[in-house]
Each structure stands twice: as structure tokens, then as C-alpha cells.
Structure 1
Amino acid sequence: MEYVQERIATLHDFSGTAGPPAVPTADAVAETTIVVPMAGREHGSPAAERVLSELETLEPDPAGVFVPVRADADQIGPFREWLESFALPTRVLWCNAPAVEELLTSAGLADGFGKGRDVWLALGPAAAAGEYVVVHDADARSYEAAHVTRLLAPLSMGFDFSKGYYARIEDEQLYGRLFRLLYAPLIRALVADYDAPIIDYLGAFRYALAGEFAATADLTRQLRAPRAWGLEVGTLGDAFDHAGFDGSAQVDLGRHEHDHRAVAGETGLEGMSRTVAGELLRVIEERGVDLDYTTLQERYRTAGDRMIDQYRADAAINGLTYDPSGERDQLDRYVDSIAPPGPDRRLPRWIDAPFEPADVLEATEPVSDRHDERLESDQLDSSAQD
């Protein structure tokens, strides 16, 4: 057990259970909207089933559960029926609906898509429906409803932003690979050469790439979401601006078991590393740090090699399987990601959005819903004329 405080408030799990917090959170839950992004592959998956079943046990009910879904047209109907079979105040947002593309195109925002854009579409409506917003993924097989109340606890105590952290140990080995082998060594390399508050802030989070966070509705409206990967890093940059060290906290959520991605390829961790590194470096540059890229890859690799030695020792003392050669192969795959960020394609803050949350809710309705509404309206008009 340890009780070390970082530069942000670090709320530990001294009980070892990651259960509900000792501080009361019922009032906060009633004023909270929960955003749970899902892709088509998560329809009926055991992990998503567990997440939704756990959310059903929250007392009182949250103000709403917004589920931004990316699915084919023939999937969205069954997906919606499955989601609404849970006893939750669920609102399904079909994020790749034709009306969504029309809405974004008309506003000049149709420039790529992915998880970040899907979450952003839900953040505006979620912030309009509650005082607090909790965001988390649907792929944690170890998910518990207490994660919501633990994330909300800091907000009930006056913080504006709360981030979850947890151990990624499964099958007797270390996971959390993109964080351990990309984010952490890159931050370590930068800390050594730059005295910058934003780098200290990013380094204070024990699992900066965790998908679980909570924020006040006001702060949620300040978030500029990258369109694909990198949402977690971009969120930290905006949280630094609007909450800072004093308004931010991180909360121990115990031990998580997630679905895993392959390393190689554009859809694997290798592809994700380019977007994540780009957003991380953008966050740092945007806050006044003039980065020297001529030696940054070398400094990253040096820091990564040292950390792999540390991970090997940590795994050994805990009896875990560890493959230093495989870890260094990942380091080699990620090193080319350490480069100046590309064009800024983030979505705007919701306080600056060119349309209202209600416009998103209308555009993201499954086609059958809009058809039924039009049909009902036509029938009413016909009855009135008769």
C-alpha cells in the first residue's frame, strides 16, 4: 500500500476493493449523465453487457446514459433494441447516420471520424442534460458501477476534473502497452529537458490513456476532441487549461481487464501511436513549449529502454511473465510516431459549436425513428383535414 500524492490530488484505494467511496455521491449521480461510446462489434459483447448491467444498479438513476454508436445501417435497429432492453434512461446516438454527415458538412466540420468524434457528438447533449458528465469505454470486463461513484466523488468535493487510473495486469503479464511504452517514456524524456507546467501536469497522471474520466458540465463544454484516437490526451490538455493542478484529481479504480488490440498495423497499437503521440506533442507545443525534434526520438528510445529494464524487474518480483525483446520491438514500432504533429483537426468546444445539442440528438436518431415521427405527423395532418 502507498499513499504518495502527485501534483494533482491522488485518491487511493486503501481498502483494496475499489468499492463505492465513503463520501456521499447520491445527489451527484442523480445529476450525472454517462457517455459510453460503442462500435458495432460491441453489440451484445460480454464486456458491454457487464457495463450496462452494472449501470442498472446505480442508485439513484443517473440523469441519462448517452451511447454514441458507430454501426452499419442494418445494425443500428437491433443495436438500439438491445441497448434499450436495459433499465436505464438510455439515449442512442447513431454517429454515422446520414443526417449527422449532413449536419457536420453544413457546419464545415466533416473532416474525418472515429471514437473522438463520436464522443464529442455525445458531450454536448450530455452537458446540457446534467451537472456532471462521466465518460468511459464499454470494453472493461471487470467494470463495476462503483467506478462511476468513485469518479464523481472528487467532483462532489469541489474538483472540476477527475481521471481514473488502475492496474493493467492480466494473464500474469503487464498490459497498458501504449501508455507504458509510448506515453510514459516520451514524458520522461521531455521532463528531463523542459521545465514546463503542462509537462508536469501530463506526467502526474498514473494512467493518462485511461478512457474513464468525469468533469463538470462547464468543463465538458470546453473540451476540443480529436476526431479519432488521442481523445484522452486532448482532454488532459483542456483540463490543464480549465481545471489546472488544483482543480484536477485522479482516482484509483482498482484492476481492469480490457479487450486487447494487436500491435502491428494501422488498426493496431502501431497505428494508434501516431495519433496519440501527435496529440500529446500538440498539447505541449500549444502551451508554449518549443520542442527540439532533432534528438527527441533518440531521447525517447533511451528513456524507453530504461523503463523496460524497470518493467522487467517489477514483473520478476511479482512472478509475472515478461518479454523484454517483444517490448523493445514495440518501442521500435512507436519511435517514428515521435514527430511534429500534423494539421489540427480537432472539433470545436461545445461553447463555440455552430449548432445546438438538440440538433445532434435529432440527426443521430436511427432512421426508423425519424420515419415514424414523420408518418405520425402526416397522419395527424390528414386527420385534421378530414
Structure 2
Amino acid sequence: MDYKQDLITTIHDFDCDLAFLENRLTELTQSSPAAVLIPALYSELERPALGQICDHLKDCAFVQTVVICLYADSLQQYAQAVRFFSVLPQKTYVIWENGPTISQTLENLKEKGLDLLKYKGKGRAVWLGLGVASLEAHAIALHDADITTYDRSYPLKLLYPLLEKEFGIAFNKAYYARLGHYPRSLYGRVTRLFVAPLLTSLTALLGDRDYLRYLHAFRYPLSGEFALTHDLALQTRIPGNWGLEIGLLSEVYRNLAHRRISQVDLGVFEHKHQQLGASDQSGLQKMCRDILGSVLRTLTETEQVVLTKDHIHALQVKFRRSAQDYAHQYFIDASFNSLHFDRHKEEVTIETFEKIILDGGEAYVTDPRNSQIPAWTRALAVMPDLREQLREAAILDAAEVKALSLPITAPHAVQSNG
């Protein structure tokens, strides 16, 4: 029986009674509403995962609001997205994050001295979505749009610990087993072969640090699925680079006591498999570089660690040994479970990540600046009704495309069955 606890609360699934939890959560959300936030590219509508997600969300009576923060290249694409999500019975906002209405709103904010237009990608989408969702809900669950194993237990497990008041939880993060199916194999390369050996190596190099113990306590620190209270959403700076998940955990570390943080088991989980990348400016290599910078920066900020190039060189040596030890353990685990395991490919990945330790570490020592979107509390100090403006922009954009009656070309993937 796995019942281990650590610095943060781990919520296991010991064959939990999902029907009871769903009824209880539905009751709780009558007075404390809940929302689901999904940042998405238009291309996600052309894959089957998002249609399946909609099919399950339709049955989530415990979710009152759905916020889609969409990156679309044209009015036609945005119109198709509005139609795609119209099957949802919940109050649904499709925010066209790079559309003219939202862009003009952010331009007005820039003229008042706060420039958010310089931030791109998932970080800005999450920031915008949290702003709108926090108007509607006490608790907000966020997940990606490419989850192929999705069912309604995912938002249920993420949201329930936040709304059961006696728990005292303000942030709940998912953990799960990342397994590929064709062939059956271990996924999660960045967590397994970069983050885990990085944290082990930093602990060996710098000694026992509370921040490192905190990150070690998360079974899947890079999971993109989490839930947080609306007040925490307003107080949290969102990382504007590929280190979003680790950067967010670092923000939560600063803002919350450990007892208010939990992680929950979602079981076996699958979504889009990312490419390693041709350089440290693309793919998983870029992700690792940004993760490294985020971890080193937080160590300096919270643990008063002064890092030099000598530390980075020592870290590189320790990382290689630690990563190889982990790879051997994964080999044993995979073999026992009859999973495909390419030891040579794992070693090549480790060698690639090892170079990032040196190059990214030295770059951090030279220039430790960070890319973080200011917290919503700062934005509201500049423009107090900004959230309402963004919500109204989403409503107006959706109404406009419906009034135009644009011809709809269905995405290539099968839509939700509604």
C-alpha cells in the first residue's frame, strides 16, 4: 500500500468513491462556484482529445463556468472555436487572446504603464484566463487541451480538496503515471531525466534546503493540471516562459504555507508527446533551460544561495552521475512491467540535458533576470476593471461571430458529440 506523506499533503486514490465525491462537490459549488480553465491553440480543435474533453465536461454539474483561452490566427478560426464549445451547458467564455479586442484592451493597459503584450505563449493565456475565471469562481481548475485519457474525475479530484473547507487547501496539483501506448513505454522524460536528477544533485551540492525538499515532494512537478483558489490566482505571478509549471510551484512556495498545498492522484495519464528539440531554444531542451533558470533563481531568492560558475561546473558532474543512476532504476521498473525501454536513447537524452546544465547554468549566472507576468493584484491597481473588460471582450467577440454567420468548416477531428 502506498500511503507515503511528505512536506505537502498527498491525496491518494485508494479506490475512492467518485460518486460520493461528485455529489458532495456539486453540493459545495452551489455556494462556492467552480471553473475550469483550458488554454488552447486552434490546432487542438483538429485533434480528437478536445472533443472528448467537452463530452466529459458536459456531465460535470460541479463546474459552473468554463474559460477557454484560445490562440487563433483568424476570425474564421475563432468562429469555429465558438461553435465547437457551444455544446457545453456551463457558462462558457472563449477568450480570443491574440484577437483585436483583447489586444486593444492590453494596449490600453500598456499606455497606463503595464506592458503585457510582450509576453507570449501559454503563460499569457493562463494569466488572462485566471483573470476572467476569478470573477466567476471560488476555485479554478486548469488543464491542457491535449489530454487523451480525460474523464470527469480529473476536474473532480482537482477541485474537491479546495472546496471542502476543513481541509484548508488553496493549491492542488495533479500527479499521475505518464505512459505511452504505441509501444507501451515510460514518458515524462523531462521529469525523469532532468528535474529529478537536478534536484538530487542540487541537494548534494548545496545541502538540505527547504525549497528543494518542497520540489522533491511533488511526484510530478511538471504536470500541467492544477487547481487554485481565486484569491491565490490574483496574487500569483505567472511565468512567461517554458518553465511555467516549475515557476508556478515556486510562486506557490512563496505565497502559501506547506499545509495549504496538496497533490492528487489522477491515475494513468496521456497527452501529446513533445519533441526533444534541435537546440536549447526549442522543444524539451528549451523547457529544461527555463526550468533550470527558475530553480536557480528561486534558490537565490528564498535560500540566499550565491551561485558561481564553479557551482555550475560541479552541478554538471553530479547531474550526469545522478541521471545515470535514475535511468538504471527506470530500466528495472520498465522491465518488470514489460514496458519498452531504449537505454541508448535514454543515455542520449541525458547527455543532451547535461549540456543544458552547463550552458543554461552559466547563462543564469551571467544574467539572472526572470520572465514573469506581474500578479493580477498589480494589474488591477493600474486598471481596476480589467477583468470585467476582458470578460466583456470575450462576450462581444463571440456575439460578433455569431451575428456574422460565417461559413463554418469543421475541424479535421471529430467534434464533441453534442
Does TM-score exceed 0.5, indicating one fold? Answer: yes
Instruction: Please state how far the C-alpha of 1:150 moved relative to its aligned partner.
Output: 1.0
Structure 1, residues 190-247: CA drift from partner, whole Å, max 9, x if none? 1223322111111100000001111111111121111232221122112112222111
In structure 2, C-alpha distance between the alignment counterparts of 1:200 and 1:135, rounded to whole Å: 25
- Counterpart in 2 of 1:168? 178
- Out of 320, 338, 348, the residue aligned to residue 374 of structure 2 is 348
1:309 to 2:314 alignment: no
- Counterpart of 2:192 in structure 1: which amino acid? R
1:183–1:364 distance in 2 versus 1, CA, 3 Å: farther
Instruction: Indicate if the aligned counterparts of 1:19 and 1:146 stay in contact, CA closer than 8 A.
Output: no
- Counterpart of 1:32 in structure 2: which amino acid? A
Instruction: Indicate if the aligned counterparts of 1:23 and 1:153 stay in contact, CA closer than 8 A.
Output: no
Structure 2, unmatched stretches of 5+, are 404-418
In structure 2, C-alpha distance between the alignment counterparts of 1:332 and 1:295, rounded to whole Å: 16
Instruction: Please state how far the C-alpha of 1:101 moved relative to its aligned partner.
Output: 3.3
In structure 1, C-alpha distance between the alignment counterparts of 2:301 and 2:105, rounded to whole Å: 29
Structure 1, residues 245-281: CA drift from partner, whole Å, max 9, x if none? 1111110011101111121234421222222222232
- Out of 249, 273, 284, the residue aligned to residue 236 of structure 1 is 249
- Counterpart in 1 of 2:337? 318
Instruction: Indicate if the aligned counterparts of 1:70 and 1:94 stay in contact, CA closer than 8 A.
Output: yes
Structure 1, unmatched stretches of 5+, are 374-386
Instruction: Indicate if the aligned counterparts of 2:201 and 2:322 stay in contact, CA closer than 8 A.
Output: yes
Instruction: Indicate if the aligned counterparts of 1:182 and 1:273 stay in contact, CA closer than 8 A.
Output: yes
- Counterpart in 2 of 1:41? 43
Instruction: Indicate if the aligned counterparts of 1:224 and 1:238 stay in contact, CA closer than 8 A.
Output: yes
User: Quick check: 216-225 or 19-28, which moved more?
Assistant: 19-28
1:218–1:182 distance in 2 versus 1, CA, 3 Å: same
- Counterpart of 1:261 in structure 2: which amino acid? Q
Instruction: Please state how far the C-alpha of 1:323 moved relative to its aligned partner.
Output: 1.2
In structure 1, C-alpha distance between the alignment counterparts of 2:174 and 2:247, rounded to whole Å: 16
1:277 to 2:292 alignment: yes
Instruction: Indicate if the aligned counterparts of 1:161 and 1:215 stay in contact, CA closer than 8 A.
Output: yes
1:237–1:108 distance in 2 versus 1, CA, 3 Å: same
Instruction: Please state how far the C-alpha of 1:327 moved relative to its aligned partner.
Output: 1.1
- The alignment partner of 2:312 has SS state of coil
- Counterpart in 2 of 1:71? 72
In structure 1, C-alpha distance between the alignment counterparts of 2:337 and 2:193, rounded to whole Å: 20
- Counterpart in 1 of 2:210? 197
Instruction: Please state how far the C-alpha of 1:282 moved relative to its aligned partner.
Output: 2.4
- The alignment partner of 1:87 has SS state of coil
- Out of 178, 189, 194, the residue aligned to residue 190 of structure 2 is 178
RMSD of the alignment, in Å? 2.4
Matches of residues 112-123 of structure 1 in structure 2 within 5 Å? 112-123=119-130
In structure 2, C-alpha distance between the alignment counterparts of 1:3 and 1:41, rounded to whole Å: 40
In structure 1, C-alpha distance between the alignment counterparts of 2:27 and 2:374, rounded to whole Å: 30
- The alignment partner of 2:80 has SS state of helix
Structure 1, residues 325-360: CA drift from partner, whole Å, max 9, x if none? 111211222223331275322111111113321222
1:8 to 2:8 alignment: yes
- The TM-score, its normalising length taken from structure 1, stands at 0.89
- The alignment partner of 2:173 has SS state of strand
In structure 1, C-alpha distance between the alignment counterparts of 2:243 and 2:96, rounded to whole Å: 21
- Counterpart of 1:159 in structure 2: which amino acid? I
- The alignment partner of 2:303 has SS state of coil
Instruction: Indicate if the aligned counterparts of 2:79 and 2:401 stay in contact, CA closer than 8 A.
Output: no
Instruction: Please state how far the C-alpha of 1:320 moved relative to its aligned partner.
Output: 1.1
Instruction: Indicate if the aligned counterparts of 1:36 and 1:68 stay in contact, CA closer than 8 A.
Output: yes
Instruction: Indicate if the aligned counterparts of 2:79 and 2:402 stay in contact, CA closer than 8 A.
Output: no
Instruction: Please state how far the C-alpha of 1:367 moved relative to its aligned partner.
Output: 4.9
1:307–1:16 distance in 2 versus 1, CA, 3 Å: farther
What is the aligned length? 373
User: Quick check: 150-159 or 8-17, which moved more?
Assistant: 8-17
In structure 1, C-alpha distance between the alignment counterparts of 2:20 and 2:7, rounded to whole Å: 24
- Out of 96, 105, 122, the residue aligned to residue 103 of structure 1 is 105
1:87–1:114 distance in 2 versus 1, CA, 3 Å: same
- The alignment partner of 2:228 has SS state of strand
- Counterpart in 2 of 1:135? 142
Instruction: Please state how far the C-alpha of 1:65 moved relative to its aligned partner.
Output: 0.5
- The alignment partner of 1:295 has SS state of helix
1:359 to 2:360 alignment: no
Structure 1, residues 155-192: CA drift from partner, whole Å, max 9, x if none? 11221111110001122210011111111111111122
- Counterpart in 2 of 1:294? 313
- Counterpart in 2 of 1:379? none
In structure 1, C-alpha distance between the alignment counterparts of 2:7 and 2:123, rounded to whole Å: 27
Instruction: Indicate if the aligned counterparts of 1:95 and 1:364 stay in contact, CA closer than 8 A.
Output: no
In structure 2, C-alpha distance between the alignment counterparts of 1:226 and 1:66, rounded to whole Å: 20
In structure 2, C-alpha distance between the alignment counterparts of 1:208 and 1:32, rounded to whole Å: 24
In structure 2, C-alpha distance between the alignment counterparts of 1:313 and 1:222, rounded to whole Å: 43
1:249–1:91 distance in 2 versus 1, CA, 3 Å: same
1:218 to 2:231 alignment: yes
Instruction: Indicate if the aligned counterparts of 1:36 and 1:67 stay in contact, CA closer than 8 A.
Output: yes
Structure 1, residues 91-126: CA drift from partner, whole Å, max 9, x if none? 001111134334334232222300111111111111
- The TM-score, its normalising length taken from structure 2, stands at 0.83
1:16–1:140 distance in 2 versus 1, CA, 3 Å: farther
- Out of 151, 169, 180, the residue aligned to residue 159 of structure 1 is 169
In structure 1, C-alpha distance between the alignment counterparts of 2:396 and 2:242, rounded to whole Å: 25
1:19–1:117 distance in 2 versus 1, CA, 3 Å: farther
- Counterpart of 2:388 in structure 1: which amino acid? A
1:342–1:329 distance in 2 versus 1, CA, 3 Å: farther
